[in-house]
Structure formats: C-alpha cells, structure tokens
Amino acid sequence: MERFKDFLANTDLLAFASHWGLQILAALVIFIIGRWVARWIASALRKLLNRREVDGTLVDFLGNVVYATLLAAVILAALDSLGLPVTSLVAVMGAAGLAVGLALKDSLANFAAGVMLVAFRPFSKGDFVEVAGISGTVNEVRIFSTILNTPDNKQIIIPNGQVAAGTITNYTARDTRRIDMTIGVSYNDDLKLTQDILRRVCSEHPNVLDDPEPVVMLVDLGASSVDFAVRPWCKTADYWTTRADILERAKADLEAAGCSIPFPQTDMHLHKVEN
C-alpha cells in the first residue's frame, strides 16, 4: 500500500494517463485500419482470381488464408505499438503453439487436408458430391472444414480430414451420365415386345443421347419377374428429370401393350398329411 502511495505521489497522473491513452488509441487505430486493409487485400485477391477464372473453391480457400495471416500480423503490430516485447511474445507464442499444435493435432490434420483438397481439386464449388456419407452441393472449402448444402436445404459442415480420408463421389464432374434402371415384367409377357417398347421409350425421349446408344437387355430371371436393364445416357443436368420421365412413360406404354409389372409373390404348396 505504501509503495502504491509513493507511486501516486511521484507520478504525474495526467502525463501517465495521456501517454497510455495515446498508445491504446494508436493500437486501436492500427487494429481497425489493419483489419480493414486485410479484408480489402483478401477481397482484391478473390476478385483477381475470379477474373483469371480460377476455381471457386481455391479462391475462397486462399482468400481465407490470406485474411487470417494478415490479421495475425495486424494484431502483432497493435501489440508492438503498446510497447509490448513482440519478439519475445512471438517466441513464447511459438513455444505455446507447439504445445497447442500437439493438443489440436486433429485441427492441424484438417488444415492439411484442406490444403490437399484445394491443391488436387477432387471437386469444385457447385459440384454435387457424396463425401463422408453425406450428399450435397459444395458451397465452400474452408481452412478446417467443407460446407455442403443438401437437396432439402440443410447446411452440413464436415471436417476436411474426414473428406480427404474417405471416398469422394463427384456426380457432376462429367458432362454426361448413364441412367441405370431395372424394369421387370411378368413371365407371361412377350419379352421381344417388352424390349422393343423400352428401347422406343428411351430413343424418343428428347434428353436421351444418341451416342452412347441406350442399352436395353435382359439381365435376370427374378423370383417374381423377368428383369430388363435399361441404360440410357443424358446430360448430367438432366439426370433426374430424364429418369423420372422414362420410368413413367415405360410403365404407361407397357401396360397399354398388355404387359404387366408384377408385385413380388410367393407360391405356397400345402400338403395334407394323413395319420
């Protein structure tokens, strides 16, 4: 208590407050302006990469990394303006970073996986993919996670480590896709007629491509039906619409021709045992 009184007695409070007030104000100005400059540089980088038609996933990832790096530099500059020993602070932060890195090895693994995803680009922004058991449209690849939007408009955040470690299925990587359908008819139906109807349904659809040619062939004698594989090709963007149209048209045309699509059935034979 006596030391505090001596400090007050021997210190010009106005000069002390003015000195530290100016330093704090300078630190705030450096931080606010520096953060604005960091955002501006990151935004300018994104615009430049977009003009060069760089993949959107890479643009977002690099923009986030550049902003985070510049913001860290701004914080160090603000601390330096307060008179804090930044060099010693960086050394301490480096040592602490090693300990934190060991504790947060999963986060570092996610960061490394994010770099790999951006470098090798198994998918791009806007692609419809299946990763880690989740299907959705790629919205963004962040530093530690990948964001998908599902068809029912849910946002799914998946750690990059899980994305890179598992199988990645990219449904929109190619311009065309094959539609795989199995259509069964009764054992009593005319198989040649059925095959002709299914071929005609495929060939007459405006979205079905002539090359590769649609394939219709008998693939299985099932328990309740004779099964045909129907495999037309279409543009990727038309996949679901084309598939639904062909199934609807095939059912209607088969029934109009007297063919039937049977329900699963089981024949039971009862034997009477006489005593």
What is the dotted CATH code of the domain comprising 123-170? 2.30.30.60
- Give the right CATH number for 2-103 from 1.10.287.1260, 3.40.50.720, 1.10.3430.10, 1.10.10.10: 1.10.287.1260
| Segments of the chain assigned to CATH 3.30.70.100 | 176-256
| Segments of the chain assigned to CATH 1.10.287.1260 | 2-103
d(CA 110, CA 269): 61
Task: Count the neighbouring beta carbons within 10 Å of the beta carbon of residue 84.
Answer: 13
| Interval 150-164: pLDDT, tens | 999 999 999 999 998
**Which CATH class for the 176-256 domain?**
alpha beta
Residue 137 · residue 172 · CB < 8 Å: no
| Interval 107-150: pLDDT, tens | 778 888 888 887 788 898 899 999 989 999 999 888 788 999 99
Percent of the chain predicted with pLDDT > 90: 43
d(CA 40, CA 54): 19
Which structure tokens are listed for 17?
Answer: 């407050």
Q: What average pLDDT does range 41-51 have in this prediction?
A: 82
Task: Count the neighbouring beta carbons within 10 Å of the beta carbon of residue 108.
Answer: 15
| Segments of the chain assigned to CATH 2.30.30.60 | 123-170
| Interval 205-229: pLDDT, tens | 999 999 999 999 999 998 889 999 9
Give me the long-range contacts of 163-167 (CB less than 8 A, separation at least 24): 163/113, 163/117, 163/131, 163/132, 164/113, 164/116, 164/117, 165/113, 166/131, 166/132, 166/133, 167/131
| Interval 15-35: pLDDT, tens | 555 656 677 777 788 888 888
